[in-house]
Amino acid sequence: MATAMTFLINYVNANVAYVTTPADYILLDDLTNDYLIWSATLADLLTHEPTTDELNENATIISDSAATTIAKCLLMDYSHYGGYYTRLVKGMGENKQYVFAFRFNGITATEPKLEAWDTSAHTTYLKHVLGAGTPASSMLQAKCTTTSLPGTGDWTSIAGLSNYIRLNDGTDLDPHPLSGAKDLYCNLKIKIPVAYATPAAETFVLTVRYTYL
């Protein structure tokens, strides 16, 4: 069997790994209809899919005095498990280890990577949130947390093919391809620069690039 990957989010306690407390995680098994919402104040546990008006009313305000980290990431759960459409991702952007989980069921030839693109074509990164063509300026910051906490400073700005994170804590000099089934973790945040001149409601595509033999 070729190695496969599933994606989960922690919605209870970002201090516990999936292997010890699987009930704290939601599997995104309907990736076509589920999506992540980045918002300042949108409520957890909504009993309906948020409308465009609700998304706008709860959007993040760009500050003219300090960089702003978007306060919340919520899973929009189309299957509304438990009757709820929105589930707050616990620990997003904080110094927490077990937030976004990637379950691999086997060996890989190279270390899996997390990338961000404008669209599923994986060819451009021109949106403001991804640095408007300059990957190092991407507002989307990521940190591999498979073996350690992410820390509180700036993480890696990800966009395109050059700016990504490795998901198994490897480096160019010491890569960590998977030698068997393993759960990998990362944390994410969106940090808007101070007085950023172009407000926008944008979507972007997160993708995991991995290999099998």
Partner 1 sequence: MNQIPLFNIFFNDGSNYQGGTLEQPKWLDIPDKPIRSIFYSLPLGDFLTLIGYEKYYHFVEVCKDLNGDRSGQVQLEFAYLIGKKGNDYRIYKISLRTGQIQIIDTDKDNEMIKQLNPIGWKKGI
Torsion sign, CA atoms 165, 168, 169, 170? negative
The reply to whether 35 sits near partner 1 by the rule CB under 8 A is: yes
Nearest-5° angle of CA 31, CA 127, CA 99?
45
Q: Which amino acid is at 51?
A: T
Nearest to partner 1 of 21, 207 (CB atom): 207
Closer to partner 1 at the Cβ: 71 or 205? Answer: 205
Contact 124, 82 (CB under 8 A): no
Least distance in angstroms from the C-beta of 1 to partner 1: 7
Cβ nearer to partner 1, comparing 55 with 67 = 55
- Comparing C-alpha atoms, which of 92, 85, 83 is closest to residue 39? 92
Q: Which of 73, 139, 158, 178 binds partner 1 (CB under 8 A)?
A: 178
**Positions in 117-176 near partner 1 (CB under 8 A):** 119-120, 122, 172, 175
Rounded Cα–Cα distance for residues 74 and 11 (Å): 9
Question: CA 135, 124, 169, 21 torsion: positive or negative?
Answer: positive
Comparing CB distances to partner 1, the nearer of 1 and 61 is: 1
Q: Phi and psi for 137 in degrees, rounded to 5?
A: -95, 5
Residue span binding partner 1 (CB under 8 A) among the ranges 13-21, 33-41, 61-69, 152-160: 33-41
- Residue in the structure block whose two tokens are 């021109």: 126
Which amino acid would we find at residue 61?
A: I
- Using CB under 8 A as the binding rule, whether residue 2 contacts partner 1 is answered as yes
- Among positions 82-121, residues that touch partner 1 (CB under 8 A) are 107-111, 115, 119-120
In the numeric block, the tokens 């991702």 are attached to 89
Give the interface segment with partner 1, choosing from 28-36, 65-73, 132-140, 141-149 (CB under 8 A). Answer: 28-36
Contact status: 38 vs partner 1 (CB under 8 A): no
Binding site residues, partner 1, CB under 8 A: 1-2, 4-5, 7, 28, 30-32, 34-36, 107-111, 115, 119-120, 122, 172, 175, 177-179, 203, 205-213
